């Protein structure tokens, strides 16, 4: 699969960087996977809703600049379908079939802007819970690895 995780902010914790690196290494045998980071925007302390929207919009603009016209954009957000591993594997297989690059977009601490959500071809959730975006990168890469193993007919843990 030709895919990228497009996300806001750098990973600050070494275990997150190590986890992402490990799953990217494992995924390399199934296709081209990469992580594309854009800078997060500083948020004033005790930010107003309008200031939070501004931060989200700026981060959204930076994300949108990384998206090519032919890309399939899958926005990770809570308000979306949350498939099980087998159904995610089916989706990955379907996405692989058309040769387009698939971008999995993870927003910053405030989520994704309306403009990014409008550009998304699909939305995907892993839970109704909110996860730190650094941890979500590791979770997403692990689930993509699991999906690739399922699609290759390899053993995976249920």
Look at residue 157 and tell me if it is in a domain. Answer: no
Taking the C-alpha atoms of residue 56 and residue 77, their distance in angstroms, rounded to an integer, is 14
Look at residue 25 and tell me if it is in a domain. Answer: yes
pLDDT band at residue 29 under the 50/70/90 scheme: very high
Taking the C-alpha atoms of residue 27 and residue 21, their distance in angstroms, rounded to an integer, is 10
Look at residue 158 and tell me if it is in a domain. Answer: no
Look at residue 50 and tell me if it is in a domain. Answer: no
Residue 102 pLDDT greater than 70, yes or no? yes
Look at residue 38 and tell me if it is in a domain. Answer: yes
- How many domains in the chain? 1
Look at residue 156 and tell me if it is in a domain. Answer: no
Look at residue 111 and tell me if it is in a domain. Answer: yes
Look at residue 28 and tell me if it is in a domain. Answer: yes
- What percentage of the chain reaches a pLDDT higher than 70? 99
CA distances to 4, 117, 151 from 40, rounded to whole Å, are 18, 17, 34
The reported pTM is 0.94
Nearest to residue 95, comparing CAs of 41, 15, 142, 30?
A: 30
Taking the C-alpha atoms of residue 25 and residue 59, their distance in angstroms, rounded to an integer, is 28
Model pLDDT for residues 50-95, shown as the tens digit of each residue: 999 999 999 999 999 999 999 999 999 988 989 999 999 999 999 9
Q: Which residue has the higher pLDDT, 128 or 70?
A: 70
The pLDDT score that the predictor gives to residue 158 is 59
Q: Which domain holds residue 63?
A: 2-45+55-151
Average pLDDT over the chain, rounded to whole? 94
The pLDDT score that the predictor gives to residue 155 is 86
pLDDT band at residue 133 under the 50/70/90 scheme: confident
Residue 157 pLDDT greater than 80, yes or no? no
CATH number at 62 reads 3.40.1280.10
């Amino acid at each position: 699969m030709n895919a990228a995780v497009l996300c806001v902010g750098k990973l600050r914790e070494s275990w997150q960087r190590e986890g992402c690196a490990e799953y990217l290494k494992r995924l390399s045998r199934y296709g081209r996977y990469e992580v594309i980071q854009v800078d997060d925007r500083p948020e004033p302390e005790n930010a107003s809703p309008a200031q939070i929207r501004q931060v989200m919009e700026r981060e959204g603009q930076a994300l949108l600049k990384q998206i090519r016209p032919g890309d399939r954009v899958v926005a990770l957000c809570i308000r979306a379908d949350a498939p099980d591993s087998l159904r995610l594997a089916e989706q990955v297989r379907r996405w692989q079939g058309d040769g387009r690059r698939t971008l999995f977009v993870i927003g910053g601490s405030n989520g994704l802007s309306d403009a990014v959500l409008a550009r998304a071809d699909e939305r995907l959730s892993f839970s109704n819970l909110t996860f730190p975006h650094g941890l979500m990168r590791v979770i997403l890469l692990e689930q993509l690895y699991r999906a690739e193993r399922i699609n290759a007919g390899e053993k995976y843990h249920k």
